[in-house]
Structure 1
Amino acid sequence: MRGDQGVQLTTDDDNFHSPTSDDPMWSETTWFSISVPERRIHAYVYPWVRPNMKMFGGGVIVWDDSGALPWDSLHCNYQWNLPLAALGDLRDFEFPSRIRLRCLEPLTTYHVTYDHPDCSIDVQFRAIMEPHVLGRGDPPGLFSAHVDQPGHVTGRITLAGEEIPVDCYAMRDRSWGPRIEDPTLRMGYEVIMGYLWRDGEAAALVSGTREIERDGVWPRRIVISAVDALGRRIEAVGQCVNRFSFTNIPWMFNWLSLTRWEYEGSDGAAAVGWGEVQDVWHTDRYRAFARSLRQR
């Protein structure tokens, strides 16, 4: 495991976790990212539960460069507060939204499917490195336990009857614990967590910046400069090729973009890769930022 060396994941961490308190906002999330860069398509599979409230939310979003909002994207089926009486076992579980997750190999390989009249997904995620871990699930902190892991994603997305092959590298993450509202939240202007994986060796980032250039309110170009615990530097410039905005929970606003990254490879040669940008704010803080632009 990478990240918090005091945390050792086990096969049980692929399952739902028991709440550590009676906090109604104690939450558990599961997220898979999927992209088809040649079509400028990006997709999120993101179910979450609040077990103390017997409630689930989240869903599936698919967008390209032709629409940036839930009502003009390729597909958006996202919920906030539907009942979920029994959790079952997340290692083989189907949500009422028809998202099904199956763990094929602990902490490594997952089969993700989704069935909807307008959109279906059938992909396999296979990790390319061990998980990066933060925390164990107790407060304080927005992400009191968080797992990031990159992987190779293969399969298909079907939209309006068209089957689109998927063969990309993307991220999955998991989090669990109290989801504590932070009115000052803004994620996207500094490097606060992460790692650099180079030449088969990963190390946590210890410092860095992430600068965002915007067209109005939405991110257009991203410049990342960071140093890891081994003293290695990474400089990367990302160009956003699409955008999508929504609130994944009522107080958290997101700009999401499939992004073309240029960076220096381990051999010193210029390299290109595909990834994404998440520009995340508390809604009140984003509202103040967006309205301030109108006054300039």
Structure 2
Amino acid sequence: MITDADIKLHVPDNIPWNWAETGYFNFYIPEANIFGFVYIVHRAGVGATISDIEIVDRPGFSADDAVYIDLINHNPLVEKAEDFTLETGLSFRAKSIRDYEIDYRAGGIDLHLECEALMEPYDIHDPEMDPMAVVDEAAAIANTGFGSAYSAHFDMTVKVVGRLKIGGKEYPIDCVSTMDHSWGPRPENGFHPILWANAHFGENYSLHGIFSVDRDAPVGQQHVFKHGYALIDGQVRGAKGGRIGTLRPELFPTSMEMTLIDRDDREHTVYGSVLTHHPWVPYGNNLSPITMTRWHTTDGRVGIGTYLEGFPLNRIRK
């Protein structure tokens, strides 16, 4: 069960050097084709906090196609994960597990985000919440889709408001998004290939899914459902199945179809087309092609979301 105590650092006895606590927050300004995210990783085992702010406005094939990137790997470890300011220009405050405020001012960027939850944190290890949860600890880690990196993990759909100033131009931010938070051993090699995807159709309907990935399998067989939910009118409906069909000519997808099957056997199918893509490298041994995706429901609703895959690089190319 996730509580307000989980906004603080989790520091076990004899903490492993590869221990990590992460927070991911993204925002959309679709009318300007802008997609951005803030990614934070606290590594108490080595005394460092990673801050990563990235803004994208096009289908980019290299890092310098981005509007802006500020990825600093070796900030000193913060004293409080729930309230800190870095010399990078990033400030973060978690008022509770459901309420966050983020500011970043540096390099001609002025970003302000207020993120308020539309649901309770979705704990992938809680059987009362997630039909795919496994009670046995070792089996649960194997079943996360991301190994020990998701030893403790929640996803949460949030309302995001704020502003983005780029140089002299200002954009209002008003969107629905999905954030996540994890803690546990997170080695930088041996990552499990993963898909993390969500679609938001206003405050009353969102989908989120986590899948394992085999890029070498045939189209339609590359993804295996692990966890997810449908958020409908404030009610969280854990998913017990799902499937993805992705058209990926090379590294980046161009279109996809996602179906989640909720706990009551209701199927939620959405179709996506990519608006922006970016070769994110959150860790040196992990390449994560990330996209802002336009989603459509079968009944004509139009939404926005993220389609993010992560692939290990420390493996021999086939």
> Which range, TM-score by smaller chain?
0.7 to 0.9
Q: How far apart are residue 248 of structure 1 and its match? A: 0.4
Paired residue type of 1:52: G
Superposition map of 1:230-269 within 5 A: 230-264=264-298, 269=299
Distance in 2 of aligned mates of 1:177 and 1:30: 13
Give how far 1:275 is off: 0.6
Equivalent residue letter for 1:152 = K
Are the aligned partners of 1:48 and 1:58 in contact in 2 as well (CA < 8 Å)? yes
Supply the distance in 1 between the matched residues of 2:125 and 2:151 (Cα, whole angstroms). Answer: 6
Alignment of 1:100 onto 2:134: no
Aligned residues of 2:75 and 2:86 also touching (Cα < 8 A): no
* Match for residue 176 of structure 2 among 160, 169, 172: 169
Provide the rounded CA distance (Å) in 1 between the counterparts of 2:179 and 2:38.
Answer: 9
User: What are the equivalent positions in structure 2 for 1:54-133 lying under 5 Å apart?
Assistant: 54-65=47-58, 67-80=60-73, 82-85=74-77, 87-104=78-95, 106-133=96-123
Measured at CA, do residues 66 and 230 of structure 1 come closer, stay the same or move farther in structure 2, by a change above 3 Å?
Answer: closer
State the 1:108 CA deviation: 1.8
Q: What residue number does 2:246 align with?
A: 212
Instruction: Give the TM-score, by structure 1 length.
Output: 0.85
Of residues 142, 156, 159, the one that matches 2:166 is 159
Q: Secondary structure at the match of 2:12?
A: coil
Q: State the Cα distance separating 1:184 from its structure 2 match.
A: 6.7
Question: How high is the sequence identity, in percent, across the aligned residues?
Answer: 23
Q: Give the structure 2 partner of residue 283 of structure 1.
A: 313
Segments ≥4 residues shifted beyond 6 Å: none
User: Per-residue CA shift, 1:42-89, capped at 9, x if unaligned?
Assistant: 111011111010012231000011634322210001123x1415x222
Once residues 29 and 165 of structure 1 are traced to their aligned partners in structure 2, the CA distance between those partners, rounded to angstroms, is 26
2:40 to 42, 47, 70: 47
Instruction: Report the AA paired with residue 100 of structure 1.
Output: S
Cα 1:41/1:68, change in 2 over 3 Å:
farther
Name stretches of at least 5 consecutive residues in structure 2 with no aligned partner.
127-136, 142-147, 196-222
Alpha-carbon separation, structure 1, partners of 2:125 and 2:282 = 22
Q: Per-residue CA shift, 1:223-249, capped at 9, x if unaligned?
A: 112212221111111111110002101
- Equivalent residues of 2:55, 2:67 under 8 A apart: yes
Q: For 1:90, what is the secondary structure of its paired residue?
A: coil
Moved more, 63-72 or 189-198: 63-72
Work out whether 1:271 is the aligned partner of 2:304. no
Paired with 1:30 and 1:249, the residues of 2 have a C-alpha distance of 14
| Residue 133 (structure 2) pairs with residue 143 (structure 1) | no
Q: Which string of whole-angstrom CA distances, capped at 9 and with x for unpartnered residues, describes residues 176-234 of structure 1?
A: 11014564722132322111122432122111111210232211111112212221111
Deviation at 1:274, TM superposition (A): 0.6
